[in-house]
Amino acid sequence: MKMAYNYIDLTRSEGGIMVTIHLQYVVDQNQKRKAVLLPLAEWERIVEDLEELDDIRAYDEAKSGSQETVPFEQAVREIEEGYKA
């Protein structure tokens, strides 16, 4: 199967910042998209963004649940006791 490449630049606004992704679609002889190629730096930025989004979702989930409050001094004491164990 012979592959060809279609080049597309996607530009979108993200929080007032313009983000451009340089996609290359790998297509077959029928011009059906089979895969995507993009520069490594752009892929690394996408992975970082996904990790940050996961952190935000975990934070939001933790904040939405019922929480037992612990005085600061007690929390520090419990942490220090955990290090000694």
One-letter amino acid for residue 10 of the chain = L
Across the chain, mean pLDDT equals: 80
Total-model pTM: 0.56
Choose among 8, 31, 29, 30: nearest CA to 20: 8
The Cα–Cα gap between 56 and 15 comes to 16
User: Domain limits of the chain?
Assistant: 4-65
Reported as a single tens digit per residue, the pLDDT across 68-81 is 788 999 989 999 98
Q: Which of residues 56 and 67 earns the better pLDDT score?
A: 56
For residue 22, the tally of other CB atoms under 10 A from its CB is 13
Spatial distance between the Cα atoms of 58 and 56, rounded to a whole number of angstroms: 5
Residues 6+ apart with CB under 8 A from 33: 6, 25, 26, 27
